[in-house]
Each structure stands twice: as structure tokens, then as C-alpha cells.
């Protein structure tokens, strides 16, 4: 059974008197363990698709099954629970809580799933070590470099063992070298069996994935296997 | 995620948010602080008034009936009629004592003011209580030295007196009060007893009194030999019967024709209490309403600042929602933040109001009992929750996609 099964998904926005069709019927299935890139120029509907895949938004019509559960018409609170359990977000602008240190930022999903304080601490610590930030647990976001912030965000995305890591332009705010580092981290995660979906408009970034889905005008324009994914800089191996 | 857990997390979040905006939080809290101070002070004044009133009324005694020319709370018109009534005299009192079956003690009282002097010391405006031999029982007084007025003291209108502890401290700091001769309005009186200390109430100091035989009083101090007849009844349950009997006796001895109205009034503690409850209740309602307005204004300030806080932290709300915070979690977070400000303000307000209460207590009755502290804190939390609700609700209902997009 596929991890993600979507069928004829549409999303319309009503803006005043105009109706915008952001998605016009997208069907996809994604298997567990895939490393997938969703590509498309701005306005193509890829962000809308990401919001739907991430359960941040609900479709106007269509079917979306995530990990065996139909989530297309869930209410706000059930979606929050799904997001908490099944999805780890990585954003372009990191989206860390500015007043909290790395450890607390990583703990956040565990707080919302009701994990006890001691277990929380332990898991968050481990997640930070896994992204190579074991020494930066008590730094606040403004005391970290861009790459480090994004790694905190990745640790946060992984800490609850989600089914999918959903990354929206994860390298967009980073210089190219740091961006490579982050992509390298994704490769490592992918090798360990995590399902990764990267949404991007950069061909370079997409080329790291093993499957590339191209969105244009709210429809899937191409869905192709990447025969030789680009490897990130090997220096990444220094970071576990 | 259970509610307790949620509250704990929310308190931590609220605390760090408030610390980030110290100045703003303080200024917002100021409104609530002022509100709590005024409401608490009003509350403690009312509480003080109540306690003092109860103490004063206890002195009157629930089981005492006061026969007087005037009813206590009759209004102005009946008072004009009552003015022309015949005086009540000591003889009436003796008759009542002889005829009543419900009374355990009947006394006669009159009150006045006088100047007491001893050697070269002088006390002005002393309460002169004109009593009979059983007034000590009726008034619930006890002596710390000497004896009370005797029947023959009263009958012969002897120039003897029992004085309050304040006068003793004033004139006889080294003892020797009993047996000394003091002067009341320049007339000599022998001190035969000293009252136990009672403490002041309602700006009225019962320790600053001098008790003399009522006969002496009506002879020397007033041209109007009018007294109050005080009847202490055996049993509070028989109050109504006793009152009825008393009325019959008085009509008889005062020769009131059948069909004519009573030419006297029978007063009791009840009337005073119900009068006080009406007056005190309306003072409390008006006072608390007016001071409550300042709390209301403070609440508006809280609501305003919470709206600002929610708007500023839209992105944070988006992040929290994306990561799995439910509506309730966000709602609780902001409610707790608002309640933290107001609770803090409430505590500060109480810390300010408390010494003020102590100062006020020197001039008039005021006290800050625990229940008032509890209510003040509960009201502060409630203000926070109520005024924080709308902003928190707005935050809880935010669309995560929109919220994440905000700068």
C-alpha cells in the first residue's frame, strides 16, 4: 500500500468575484522511503499541493489518503493531530521560535503530542545530535548560522518520527555551499529510510531527488524517475 | 495532550512572552493594578464596616427590647408626632419589671456627654451612660475592679460612678481608681468600679464612658427625665410574645385608651440589622460598581494588548499549528498569557492595597480578610480570561497557511 494516495485533487480559491483554480485535478501515489522533488515555477500550484500534502489545507474536491487514512475532509483539530504525527515540515525561512533555544524548538512537536518531559528532552537531544548540532542545544536561533538553523528545523521535523519530511524550498535562504550540506543531510535521511518530499523551483535542488514531479498550471506535467540523482558534496559525510 | 500539561506549557510560554515585552506588559498591567487596588480598598472598607457594625450590634443584644418614645427607623413624619409623647420614666421601668413574665431584667438607660476631671486632668466629651442596677447584665458589661451600681445607689441617686478603662488609664495610670473622687461636669462622683477594656468601634470608644445612676442623671443633667426602658427577655424564641406582652403592659401603665395608637415604640436589634443591610448593601453595590469600572477599563487594555500580541505572533501561531498545536492549545496559550498579566497585576495590587488598608484602619474600620484576597485574585484571573478570550479565539482560529505566510 502506498504511503500517499491522491486522486483528482483540486483546490479553488475564491478571491472576490474571481475563482482561482490552483489545482485542477492531481493524482499521485508516493511510496514509503521515496526521495521526491515537486518542481514548478511560481504560480504553478506546487505550494498549494504542498499545503494539501502537509495537511495544512483541505482540498476543494478529490481524495487524499495518507498512511491509510482519508484526510481530505478532516476538521482542523484532527488535521493538527495528523500533522503532529505524520509530517515533519522544513521551511524556506526555517520558522523556528525566535525566543526558544534549539532544544526547546525541537521538543515542540513532542510537547503537542504529550510526551513526558524527560523522554522529550532525550529524544530532542538525540535528534539534534543526529543533525550534527549536539553542541548547540542551548543556542537561540539568532545565535546560529543559517545552515545550523535549518538543521535545527530538520531535527524538529524528524523528532516525532513522521511518515513524511516535507521540505518547502529548504535551501532557498542559504548560500549554495550550505544548501548542499542540507541536501546531503536529506540524502543521509533518505538512505536511512525516511520519506522525503522537497518542493522547489530550482532544477539543481530537484536533481538530488530520485523522482521528480513537475507541476504546471495546476496539473502534473511530468512524473519521471531521475536515473542519476546528483550527490551532494561528500564533505557532508563529516556530519553524521 | 492533557489540560494540566497544556497549562504548564502555556505558563512557560506566557512568561517568556511577557519578559520579552517588559515595558508593555507593565503598562498594561497598570490598569489592572489600579483596578484591583480600588476594588480591594472598597471591599476592605465594606468588610471593616460590616465587622464593626456586627460588634456594635452585638452590644445591643438580640434579646433586648428597647422601649423608647421614638421608633429607630420610622422616618421624619412619625418623629414629629412622637416628639409630643409623654416621657418614659424610671417608674414605668419598675412597673414593667413587676408585671412582665418574659423579662429576666429590666433597666432604664439614658445617655449624654460630659466633662470628667480628676485633679488637674480633664477629659471632654465623655459618654455619660445613665444606668440602673441591672444594666450591666443587660448591656453585657463586666468589671475589672470594684462593683457595679447597686439598687440603693439608683434609688437614692447617689453620686457614684463606674468608669471605662480609657478614663482609668488617663486619670489613674498608677492604680487607685476605685474609691477616688472624680468630677463630672464639676459635680463630685465617687468611683466604685472599673469596666473591662472593650476597644473602639465606629469611631465610638466604649472605654471612654462613665456610668452613673440614671436617677442622678435625670436629676442633675437633664431637664427632661426621659429614659429608654431596656427589657432583656429570657428566651429569643419568645421574642414576639414578649413584645406583645410588653406592649400590653405599657399601654396599661401609660393609660392608653383602647383604639388609640401606642405612645411609645418598641425597638430591637433586628430593625437595626435590617436597616444596615439595606444601607450597607446599597453602599457596597454602588461602591463596587464604580470601582469595578476601573477594572473594566483595565480589562479593555488587556484585550487591546492581546490583540496586538496575537497579530505580532501570527507567524509563531502558524508554526505551532503546523507542528501540531490544536485550536484549544493555542486558545489556552493566549488565555494563560492574558491571565498571567492580570494575576500578576492582581498580586501587585493587593501588595499595594494591603498597607493602605492598615493606614485607613487607623481612621476608620477597614480590614482585608482572606476571602477578600481570594476574590481579588479570582477577579483578576477572570478579567484576564474574559478580556483575553476574543484575541485568543482569533489566534486559535487562524488558518495555518495564512499564518505561516505572514511576516
Report the alpha-carbon distance of residue B284 to residue A168 in Å, rounded. 62
User: What is the least distance, in Å, from the CA of A193 to any CA of chain B?
Assistant: 22
Report the alpha-carbon distance of residue B83 to residue B264 in Å, rounded. 10
Neighbours of A161 (CB within 10 A): 12
Q: Which of B14-28, B57-71, B188-202, B209-223 has the lowest mean pLDDT?
A: B57-71
Q: In 3-state terms, what secondary structure has residue B72?
A: coil
Question: Is residue B381 situated within a structural domain?
Answer: yes
Q: In this structure, are B392 and B286 located in the same domain?
A: yes
Q: Does A89 touch chain B (CB under 8 A)?
A: yes
Dihedral of the alpha carbons of B328, B330, B334, B337, in degrees to the nearest 10:
100
Q: Does B324 touch chain A (CB under 8 A)?
A: yes
Question: Is residue B66 situated within a structural domain?
Answer: no
| pLDDT at A233 (0 to 100) | 59
Residues of chain A with pLDDT under 50: 235-240
| pLDDT at B75 (0 to 100) | 67
**Nearest CB partner across the interface for B401, out of A51, A81, A97:** A51
Report the alpha-carbon distance of residue A29 to residue A65 in Å, rounded. 9
Residue with cell 405599657: B250
User: Distance from CA of residue A55 to its chain's centroid?
Assistant: 11
Rounded percentage of chain B residues whose pLDDT exceeds 90? 41
Q: What are phi and psi of B74, to 5 degrees?
A: -100, -15
Q: In this structure, are B237 and B368 located in the same domain?
A: no
User: What is the least distance, in Å, from the CA of B328 to any CA of chain A?
Assistant: 9
Please determine, for residue B2, whether its predicted confidence score (pLDDT) is greater than 80.
no
To test the contact with chain A by mutation, choose from B11, B323, B328, B402 the residue with the greatest count of A C-beta atoms within 10 A, namely B323
DSSP string for chain A: --SEEEEEEEEEEEETTEEEEEEEEEEEEE-TT-EEEEE--TTSSHHHHHHHHTTSS--SEEEEEETTEE-TT--HHHHHHHHHHHEEEE-TT----TTS-HHHHHHHHHHHTT--HHHHHHHHHHHHHHTT-TT-TT--GGGS-HHHHHHHHHHHHHTT--SEEEEESTTTTS-HHHHHHHHHHHHHHHHTT-EEEEEES-HHHHTTSSEEEEEETTEEEEEEE-SSPPPPPGGGGG--
User: What is the least distance, in Å, from the CA of B315 to any CA of chain A?
Assistant: 8
Report the alpha-carbon distance of residue B88 to residue A147 in Å, rounded. 101
Q: In this structure, are B349 and B313 located in the same domain?
A: yes
Q: In this structure, are B259 and B288 located in the same domain?
A: no
**Could you state, in order of their start, the residue ranges of all structural domains in chain A?**
33-47+85-238
| pLDDT at B147 (0 to 100) | 93
Q: What are phi and psi of A94, to 5 degrees?
A: 65, -45
Question: Is residue B368 situated within a structural domain?
Answer: yes
User: What is the least distance, in Å, from the CA of B16 to any CA of chain A?
Assistant: 8
Report the alpha-carbon distance of residue B350 to residue B361 in Å, rounded. 16
CB-CB under 8 Å, A80 with B9: no
| pLDDT at B37 (0 to 100) | 93
Residues of B in Cβ contact (< 8 Å) with A160: 324
Indicate the number of domains in chain B: 2
Averaged confidence pLDDT in chain B: 87
Residues of B in Cβ contact (< 8 Å) with A156: 323
Q: In this structure, are B248 and B120 located in the same domain?
A: yes
| pLDDT at A207 (0 to 100) | 92
Question: Is residue B77 situated within a structural domain?
Answer: no
Q: Does A56 touch chain B (CB under 8 A)?
A: yes
Residues of A in Cβ contact (< 8 Å) with B400: 56-57
The answer, yes or no, to whether ipTM is higher than 0.90 is yes
Q: Which long-range contacts (C-beta less than 8 Å, at least 24 apart) are formed by B179-188?
A: B180/B118, B182/B116, B182/B117, B182/B118, B183/B116, B183/B117, B183/B118, B184/B114, B184/B115, B184/B116, B184/B126, B184/B128, B184/B210, B184/B212, B185/B114, B185/B115, B185/B220, B185/B221, B186/B115, B186/B117, B187/B159, B187/B220, B188/B159
Q: Which of B241, B263, B285 is a domain's end point?
A: B263
Q: In this structure, are B207 and B338 located in the same domain?
A: no
Minimum Cα–Cα distance from B5: chain A residue: A114
CB-CB under 8 Å, B323 with A89: yes
Report the alpha-carbon distance of residue A151 to residue B89 in Å, rounded. 100
B257: DSSP letter:
P
CB of B339 closer than 8 Å to CB of B385 = yes
- How big is the CA angle at B109 (ends B103 and B113), to the nearest 5 degrees? 160
User: What is the least distance, in Å, from the CA of A176 to any CA of chain B?
Assistant: 24
Q: Does B329 touch chain A (CB under 8 A)?
A: yes
User: What is the least distance, in Å, from the CA of B356 to any CA of chain A?
Assistant: 39
Give the right CATH number for A33-47+85-238 from 3.50.50.60, 3.40.50.300, 3.30.1330.10, 2.40.50.140: 3.40.50.300
pLDDT, tens only, B167-200: 999 899 888 889 999 999 999 999 999 999 887 6
Residues of A in Cβ contact (< 8 Å) with B322: 54, 56, 83, 89, 95
Minimum Cα–Cα distance from B8: chain A residue: A111
Report the alpha-carbon distance of residue A87 to residue A53 in Å, rounded. 9
- The residue among A225, A202, A231 whose CA lies nearest residue A92 is A202
| pLDDT at A236 (0 to 100) | 47
| pLDDT at B348 (0 to 100) | 95
CB-CB under 8 Å, B16 with A100: yes
Phi-psi group of B324: left, alpha or beta (phi > 0 → left; psi -120 to 50 → alpha; rest → beta): left
Report the alpha-carbon distance of residue A147 to residue A136 in Å, rounded. 13
**Which grid cell is B289?**
460598581
Minimum Cα–Cα distance from B321: chain A residue: A80
CB-CB under 8 Å, A77 with B326: yes
Residues of A in Cβ contact (< 8 Å) with B327: 76-77, 80
- Print the domain residue range for B234: 86-263
Question: Is residue B124 situated within a structural domain?
Answer: yes
Q: What is each CA distance from A56 to A74, A82, A93, B406, B407, in whole angstroms?
A: 11, 10, 17, 15, 18
CB-CB under 8 Å, A111 with B1: yes
CB-CB under 8 Å, B327 with A76: yes
If 0-12 CB within 10 Å is exposed, 13-18 middle and 19+ buried, where does residue B57 land? middle
In total, chain B counts a number of residues equal to 407
Minimum Cα–Cα distance from A159: chain B residue: B323
Q: In this structure, are B279 and B259 located in the same domain?
A: no
Q: Half-sphere exposure of residue B136, counting CA atoms within 13 Å on the CB side? A: 22
User: What is the least distance, in Å, from the CA of B319 to any CA of chain A?
Assistant: 6
To test the contact with chain B by mutation, choose from A23, A109, A112, A158 the residue with the greatest count of B C-beta atoms within 10 A, namely A112
pLDDT class for B1, splitting at 50, 70, 90?
low
Q: In this structure, are B149 and B288 located in the same domain?
A: no
Name the helix (H) or strand (E) containing B18.
Answer: helix B3-20
Q: In this structure, are B258 and B283 located in the same domain?
A: no
- B 1-40: CB under 8 A from A: 1-2, 5, 9, 16-17, 20
- A 92-151: CB under 8 A from B: 95-97, 99-100, 108-109, 111-114
User: What is the least distance, in Å, from the CA of B302 to any CA of chain A?
Assistant: 22
CB of A210 closer than 8 Å to CB of A35 = yes
Residues of B in Cβ contact (< 8 Å) with A76: 326-327
**Which grid cell is A85?**
504525527
**Which grid cell is B382?**
477572570
Q: State the average pLDDT over residues B293-304.
A: 92
Amino acid at each position: 500500500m502506498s504511503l500517499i494516495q491522491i486522486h483528482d485533487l483540486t483546490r479553488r480559491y475564491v478571491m472576490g468575484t474571481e475563482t482561482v483554480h490552483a489545482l485542477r485535478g492531481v493524482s499521485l501515489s508516493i511510496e514509503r522511503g521515496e526521495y521526491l522533488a515537486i518542481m514548478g515555477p511560481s504560480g504553478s500550484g506546487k505550494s498549494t499541493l504542498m499545503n494539501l500534502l502537509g495537511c495544512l489545507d483541505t482540498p476543494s474536491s478529490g481524495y487524499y489518503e495518507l498512511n491509510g487514512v482519508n484526510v481530505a475532509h478532516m476538521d482542523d483539530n484532527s488535521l493538527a493531530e495528523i500533522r503532529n504525527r505524520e509530517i515533519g515540515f522544513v521551511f524556506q525561512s526555517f520558522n523556528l521560535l525566535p525566543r526558544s533555544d534549539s532544544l526547546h524548538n525541537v521538543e515542540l512537536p513532542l510537547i503537542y503530542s504529550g510526551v513526558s518531559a524527560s523522554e522529550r528532552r532525550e529524544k530532542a537531544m538525540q535528534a539534534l545530535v543526529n543533525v550534527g548540532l549536539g553542541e548547540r542545544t542551548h543556542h537561540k536561533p539568532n545565535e546560529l548560522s543559517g545552515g545550523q538553523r535549518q538543521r535545527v528545523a530538520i531535527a524538529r521535523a524528524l523528532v516525532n518520527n513522521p511518515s513524511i519530511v516535507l521540505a518547502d524550498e529548504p535551501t532557498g535562504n542559504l548560500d549554495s555551499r550550505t544548501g548542499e550540506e542540507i541536501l546531503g543531510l536529506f540524502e543521509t535521511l533518505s538512505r536511512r529510510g525516511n520519506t522525503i518530499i522537497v518542493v522547489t523551483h530550482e532544477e539543481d535542488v530537484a536533481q538530488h531527488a530520485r523522482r521528480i514531479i513537475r507541476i504546471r498550471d495546476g496539473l502534473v506535467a511530468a512524473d519521471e524517475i531521475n536515473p542519476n540523482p546528483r550527490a551532494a558534496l561528500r564533505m557532508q559525510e563529516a556530519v553524521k | 495532550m492533557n489540560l494540566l500539561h497544556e497549562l504548564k506549557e502555556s505558563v512557560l510560554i506566557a512568561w517568556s512572552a511577557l519578559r520579552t515585552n517588559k515595558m508593555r506588559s507593565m503598562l498594561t498591567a497598570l490598569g489592572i493594578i489600579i483596578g484591583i487596588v480600588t476594588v480591594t480598598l472598597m471591599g476592605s472598607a465594606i468588610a471593616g464596616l460590616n465587622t464593626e457594625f456586627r460588634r456594635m450590634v452585638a452590644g445591643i443584644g438580640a434579646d433586648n427590647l428597647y422601649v423608647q418614645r421614638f421608633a429607630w427607623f420610622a422616618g421624619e413624619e412619625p418623629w414629629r408626632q412622637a416628639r409630643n409623647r409623654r416621657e418614659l420614666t424610671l417608674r414605668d421601668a419598675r412597673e414593667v419589671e413587676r408585671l412582665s413574665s418574659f423579662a429576666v431584667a429590666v433597666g432604664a438607660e439614658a445617655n449624654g456627654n460630659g466633662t470628667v476631671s480628676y485633679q488637674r486632668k480633664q477629659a471632654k466629651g465623655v459618654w455619660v451612660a445613665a444606668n440602673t442596677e441591672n444594666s450591666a447584665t443587660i448591656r453585657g458589661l463586666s468589671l475589672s475592679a470594684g462593683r457595679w451600681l447597686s439598687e440603693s445607689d439608683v434609688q437614692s441617686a447617689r453620686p457614684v460612678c463606674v468608669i471605662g478603662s480609657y478614663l482609668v488609664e488617663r486619670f489613674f495610670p498608677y492604680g487607685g481608681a476605685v474609691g477616688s473622687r472624680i468630677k463630672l461636669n464639676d459635680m463630685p462622683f465617687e468611683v466604685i468600679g472599673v469596666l473591662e477594656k472593650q476597644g473602639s468601634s465606629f469611631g465610638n470608644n466604649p472605654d471612654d464612658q462613665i456610668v452613673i445612676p440614671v436617677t442622678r442623671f435625670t436629676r442633675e443633667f437633664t431637664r427632661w427625665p426621659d429614659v429608654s426602658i431596656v427589657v432583656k427577655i429570657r428566651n429569643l424564641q419568645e421574642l414576639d410574645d414578649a413584645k406583645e406582652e410588653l406592649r400590653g403592659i405599657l399601654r396599661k401603665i401609660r393609660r392608653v385608651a383602647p383604639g388609640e395608637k401606642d405612645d411609645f415604640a418598641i425597638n430591637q436589634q433586628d430593625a437595626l440589622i435590617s436597616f444596615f443591610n439595606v444601607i450597607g448593601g446599597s453602599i457596597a453595590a454602588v461602591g463596587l460598581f464604580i470601582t469595578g469600572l476601573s477594572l473594566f477599563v483595565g480589562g479593555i487594555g488587556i484585550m487591546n494588548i492581546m490583540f496586538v500580541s496575537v497579530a505580532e505572533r501570527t507567524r509563531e501561531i502558524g508554526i505551532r499549528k503546523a507542528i501540531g498545536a490544536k485550536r484549544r492549545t493555542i486558545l489556552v496559550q493566549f488565555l494563560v498569557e492574558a491571565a498571567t498579566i492580570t494575576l500578576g497585576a492582581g498580586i501587585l495590587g493587593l501588595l499595594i492595597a494591603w498597607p493602605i488598608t492598615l493606614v485607613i484602619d487607623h481612621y476608620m474600620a477597614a480590614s482585608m480578610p482572606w476571602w477578600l484576597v481570594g476574590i481579588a485574585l479570582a477577579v483578576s484571573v477572570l478579567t484576564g480570561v474574559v478580556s483575553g478570550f476574543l484575541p485568543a479565539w482569533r489566534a486559535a482560529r487562524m488558518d495555518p497557511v495564512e499564518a505561516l505566510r505572514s511576516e
